[in-house]
A and B are shown apart, each in its own frame.
Chain A
């Protein structure tokens, strides 16, 4: 500790090296672990397979509650997830399948409750939607009900994943 002026820079140098080596060790240890932990964020979302749900002949202009099962892989756990769709024919004849998950807080809505005829009604906070799933202004839901990917093949309706409607 004799050479004061020299000592200051030397000490600084030591401190920088120390920080560098310490940072290297921390990064070496934590980098694999953090990547390991954030893996779910970086996994590609798989689009679900289309599943046959109902035959076209059964459909009317009144929404019908249909359940169908989708194979789901959750890490090491594989199971069949039960999903619900309200399927009906629109005025122009197009088929529409709505997800009954309320866009407010995720409860399940019901069609045509005695108290709310010709509407979807959510029992949790009283959210309401029109027949085509448009949220009625003044009720809690911020967006229309999600719509399932849909295709018709050989007279059967196949459904995929539900998506929010663009621009609504």
Chain B
């Protein structure tokens, strides 16, 4: 160790300087057009930022962020969907070798390996070469994971029934239903109430409120059903009761 004259210390301390730090490149002596961070370069960054912000504000003004109906844990038929950036994980768990008995693979091993590999990437890819084309293994693995993430996300979004989940999540306006009326009595004594809910808000079956259902349609559907979900002959009773029921539903389903 260097001792005596010319010895340097770390800051104000008595620890001698070891000088192992790899100094950053000094770009002021670097060939090419370098420029000062402030104001020259920052101005360019901020211009990019300003354009970005304009686009972003246009998006927020034109597209309202979605809000579905208030959470209701009793509506078990709801098809859940995570936010888009988790879709690939969600899709992965649908495959037989990543679910059921093998779900440890889909839940722990694959994502865990990916996360650890990402964290320790600098030690997996240690060569001095920086160009992507000259380190084919690292680049290849990253491209492979990238493609699988894009593929899984895409698969997940095409296999999801968007129309149905929109229907299930819709905000249904509360309608005052006269529960003492003749029509409601028939509605609740028949099997209708089991699927369409006590307030016609929908349960396993779709909501009836806010749909403008004409009486004739109610009469037809109550007898014929809508395959595959709604069975035929759901209504059992006299024609007179059916008419009353149909009128009642027409009335409460008005928007």
Q: Which positions in A face B, CB cutoff 8 Å?
A: 11, 14-15, 17-18, 21-22, 24-25, 28-29, 32
Instruction: For residue A13, give the distance in angstroms from its CB to the closest CB of chain B.
Output: 9
Which residues of B in the span 52-83 have a Cβ within 8 Å of any Cβ on A? Answer: 53-54, 57, 60
CA of A21 to CA of B50, assembled, Å: 7
- The contact size tier of chain B is 10 to 19
List B contacts of A15 (CB < 8 A): 39
Q: What are 16 inter-chain pairs, A to B, with CB distance below 8 A?
A: A11-B39, A15-B39, A17-B43, A18-B42, A18-B43, A21-B46, A21-B47, A21-B49, A21-B50, A24-B50, A25-B49, A25-B50, A28-B53, A28-B57, A29-B53, A32-B57
Q: B13 an interface residue at 8 Å Cβ cutoff?
A: no
Within 8 A of A (CB), among B65-112: none
A16 and chain B: residue at smallest CB distance: B39
CB A45 to nearest CB in B, in angstroms, measures 28
* Closest partner residue, chain B, to A24 (CB atom): B50
Chain A residue with minimal CB distance to B42?
Answer: A18
Would you call B46 and A25 a contact (CB within 8 A)? yes
7 more contacts with CB within 8 A, not counting A25-B49, A28-B50, are A14-B39, A14-B40, A14-B43, A15-B39, A18-B38, A22-B46, A24-B50
Which residues of chain A are within 8 angstroms of B50 by Cβ–Cβ distance? 21, 24-25, 28
Q: Is the CB of B53 within 8 A of A21?
A: no
Q: Which residues of B contact A24 (CB under 8 A)?
A: 50
- Give the Cβ gap from A33 to chain B, nearest Cβ, in Å: 11
Listed in ascending order, the chain B residues whose CB lies under 8 Å from chain A are: 38-40, 42-43, 46-47, 49-50, 53-54, 57, 60
Flag if A28 contacts B54 (CB, 8 Å). yes
B57 near A21: Cβ-Cβ < 8 Å: no
Closest B residue to A22 by beta carbon equals B46
For residue A125, give the distance in angstroms from its CB to the closest CB of chain B: 46
Nearest to A13 among chain B residues (CB) is B39
For A21, the chain B residues whose CB sits under 8 A away are 43, 46-47, 49-50
For the complex formed, measure the closest distance between the CB of A105 and the CB atoms of chain B, giving whole angstroms: 40
Cβ of A11: which chain B residues have Cβ within 8 Å of it?
39
Complex-state Cα separation, A26 to B47, whole angstroms: 13
Q: In the complex, what distance in Å separates the CA atom of A64 from the CA atom of B34? A: 85
User: Which residues from chain A contact B43 at a C-beta distance below 8 Å?
Assistant: 14, 17-18, 21
Could you tell me the distance between the alpha carbons of A24 and B53 in the complex, rounded to whole angstroms?
10
Bound-state CA distance A42–B42 (Å) is 38
* A22 and B49 alpha carbons, distance in the complex (Å): 9
Contact pick for A18, options B39, B53, B54, B60, CB 8 Å: B39
Complex Cα gap A24–B43 (Å):
12
Complex: chain B residue closest to A27, CB-CB: B53
Residue of B40, B43, B47 contacting most chain A CB atoms (<10 Å): B43
Taken together as a complex, chains A and B put the C-alpha atoms of A152 and B251 apart, in Å, by 41
Task: Give CA–CA (A167, B42) in the complex, Å.
Answer: 60
Residue of A nearest to B38 (CB): A18
Q: Which residues of A contact B57 (CB under 8 A)?
A: 28, 32
- Closest CB pairs A-B (n = 10): A14-B39, A18-B39, A21-B46, A18-B43, A15-B39, A28-B53, A21-B50, A25-B50, A25-B53, A24-B50
User: A32: which B residues are within 8 A, CB to CB?
Assistant: 57, 60
The docked-state distance in angstroms from the alpha carbon of A14 to that of B35 is 12
Q: With A and B bound together, what is the CA distance between A166 and B146 in angstroms? A: 73
Residues of A contacting B46 with CB < 8 Å? 18, 21-22, 25
Nearest-CB distance from B62 to chain A (Å)?
Answer: 14
Minimal beta-carbon separation of A107 from chain B (angstroms): 39
Q: Shortest distance in angstroms between B141's beta carbon and chain A's nearest beta carbon?
A: 38
Residues of A within 8 A of B47 (CB): 21
Interface-central residue, B38, B40, B46, by most chain A CB under 10 Å: B46
Q: How far is the CA of A21 from the CA of B42 in the complex (A)?
A: 10
List residues of chain B with CB within 8 A of the CB of A14: 39-40, 43
